[in-house]
């Protein structure tokens, strides 16, 4: 039992220092100075109130050549009126209205496909209707990550801070996921991105036949597509503080559970090597805590058990502190182990629930 405990300890150290530390010590490369045309694509379904706040911030970016393309997907609120009025003020805003889905598509993938295919420029930058850039240089920083061989840029989309445990748990979950997918991308093993802040070339969309390989799955327009399209040579990241898009987190536990069920419903479709690595990380994490408690309960030698626990805790604080500083989420650092254990239990419950109940559609 102690040998297994030592094995999962080594596995955890490997993830911390070989994978996650890449993000902690990451330095932003110098900008090439090029400013190619960019199309920002946003899908909206009954997002009038969000678009009132977020769309002006996107339309007023400090960037010389870009368009904002909003796909209004079957909205029955005042979204269409808002977009019409904004088009009169901003000539680089284009609206596409979709009133019906194709029979074989569900959720966000059909309107997003229409938006990407209708984009004026080859470089497409995706975000959600409720996401607001933190600065007027969002487009500049996201496109500056592209190099001659780059086809995919993974960004970060954190949530606004507020009081309460739920807000901290949601933000820790989001940051923890970001640490993983950004670090894996730096290690040459990109496996997902988030639609709140994601950019790629139109040719990648066509080359991978859009969302056809997973069109029956409601979710996955971001992570499943990137899992298929990204590789070690065509993918990079952008985590400059001015490149983030912010949004409001869910306000109730029930809303967050619904969101998590939808997000966790796609991971079983990842490539085998990604499922293996992610599974090993999750297994080693769960096994480490379980074996630590069990060995202490059985009155095994305390010093080596506690010693490995403390070493792992120190490594976690060193690596995650650097990563969370990189992602501007330093306030989450003091209670790392508590958030981690709570999230483990929460995700386990969600995965079990997904076996019996299908996740809801994207809106």
Question: Tens of pLDDT along 21-69?
Answer: 999 999 988 777 778 999 999 999 999 999 999 999 999 999 999 999 9
Q: How confident is the model at residue 220 (pLDDT cuts 50, 70, 90)?
A: confident
Q: Is the pLDDT of residue 95 over 80?
A: yes
Whether 176 and 324 have beta carbons less than 8 Å apart is answered as no
Which residue blocks in 15-131 are alpha helix, DSSP H? 21-24, 48-59, 79-89, 109-117
Beta bridge partners of 154: 198, 237
Chain centroid offset of residue 288 CA? 26
Report the share of the chain in percent with pLDDT over 70: 95
Report residue 215: phi and psi, to 5°.
-65, -20
How much of the chain exceeds pLDDT 90, in percent? 78
**Entry pTM:** 0.92
For domain 29-251, give the CATH number: 3.90.550.10
Query: How high is the pLDDT of residue 353?
Result: 67
d(CA 338, CA 336): 6
Backbone angles phi, psi at 246, to 5 degrees: -105, 150
In angstroms, how far is the first alpha carbon of the chain from the final one? 46
Given a contact cutoff of 8 angstroms between Cβ atoms, the answer to whether 293 and 5 are in contact is no
pLDDT at 354: 59
Per residue in 300-351, pLDDT tens? Answer: 889 999 999 999 999 999 999 999 999 999 999 999 999 999 999 888 777 7
**Predicted local confidence at residue 361, as pLDDT:** 47
- What confidence category does residue 262 fall into, taking pLDDT thresholds of 50, 70 and 90? confident
How sure is the predictor about 89, in pLDDT bands with cuts at 50, 70 and 90?
very high
Query: What does the alpha-carbon distance between residue 43 and residue 26 come to, in Å, rounded to a whole number?
Result: 32
Q: In DSSP terms, which residues pair with 315 in a beta bridge?
A: none
Q: Please count the other Cβ atoms lying within 10 Å of the Cβ belonging to residue 47.
A: 23
Confidence label for 170 from pLDDT (cuts 50, 70 and 90): very high
The larger pLDDT score, comparing residue 188 to residue 102, is at 188
Task: Find how far residue 356's CA is from the centre of its chain.
Answer: 25
Residue 105 confidence (pLDDT) = 56
- Give span(s): CATH 3.90.550.10, the chain: 29-251
Mean pLDDT of the chain: 91
Q: Mean pLDDT over residues 218-230, rounded?
A: 89
Nearest CA to 199 out of 103, 132, 127 is that of: 127
pLDDT of residue 360: 47
Residue 278 has pLDDT above 70, yes or no: yes
Residue 84: which residues within 8 A CB-CB, separation 6 or more?
Answer: 95
């Amino acid at each position: 039992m102690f040998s297994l405990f030592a094995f999962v300890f080594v596995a955890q150290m490997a993830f911390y220092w070989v994978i996650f530390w890449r993000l902690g010590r990451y330095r932003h490369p110098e900008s090439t100075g090029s400013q190619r045309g960019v199309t920002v694509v946003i899908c909206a379904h009954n997002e009038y109130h969000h678009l009132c706040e977020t769309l002006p911030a996107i339309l007023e970016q400090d960037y010389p050549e870009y368009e904002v393309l909003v796909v209004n997907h079957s909205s029955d609120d005042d979204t269409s009126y808002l977009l019409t009025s904004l088009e009169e003020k901003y000539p680089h805003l284009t609206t596409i209205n979709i009133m019906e889905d194709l029979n074989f598509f569900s959720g966000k993938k059909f309107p997003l496909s229409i938006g990407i295919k209708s984009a004026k420029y080859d470089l497409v930058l995706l975000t959600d209707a409720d996401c607001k850039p933190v600065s007027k240089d969002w487009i500049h920083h996201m496109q500056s990550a592209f190099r001659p061989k780059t086809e995919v840029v993974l960004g970060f989309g954190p949530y606004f801070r507020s009081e309460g445990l739920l807000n901290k748990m949601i933000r820790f979950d989001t940051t923890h996921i970001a640490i993983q997918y950004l670090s894996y991308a730096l290690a040459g093993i990109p496996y997902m991105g988030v639609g709140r802040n994601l950019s790629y070339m139109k040719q990648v969309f066509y080359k991978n036949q859009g969302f056809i390989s997973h069109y029956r799955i409601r979710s996955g327009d971001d992570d499943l597509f990137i899992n298929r399209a990204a590789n070690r040579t065509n993918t990079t990241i952008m985590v400059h503080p001015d490149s983030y898009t912010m949004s409001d987190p869910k306000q109730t536990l029930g809303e967050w559970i619904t969101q998590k069920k939808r997000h966790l419903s796609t991971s079983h479709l990842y490539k085998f090597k990604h499922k293996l690595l992610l599974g090993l990380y999750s297994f080693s994490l769960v096994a480490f805590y379980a074996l630590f408690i069990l060995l202490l309960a059985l009155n095994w030698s305390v010093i080596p058990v506690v010693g490995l626990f403390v070493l792992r805790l120190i490594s976690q604080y060193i690596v995650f502190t650097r990563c969370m500083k990189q992602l501007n989420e330093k306030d989450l650092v003091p209670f790392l182990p508590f958030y981690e254990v709570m999230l483990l239990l929460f995700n386990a419950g969600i995965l079990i629930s997904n076996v019996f109940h299908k996740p809801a559609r994207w809106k």
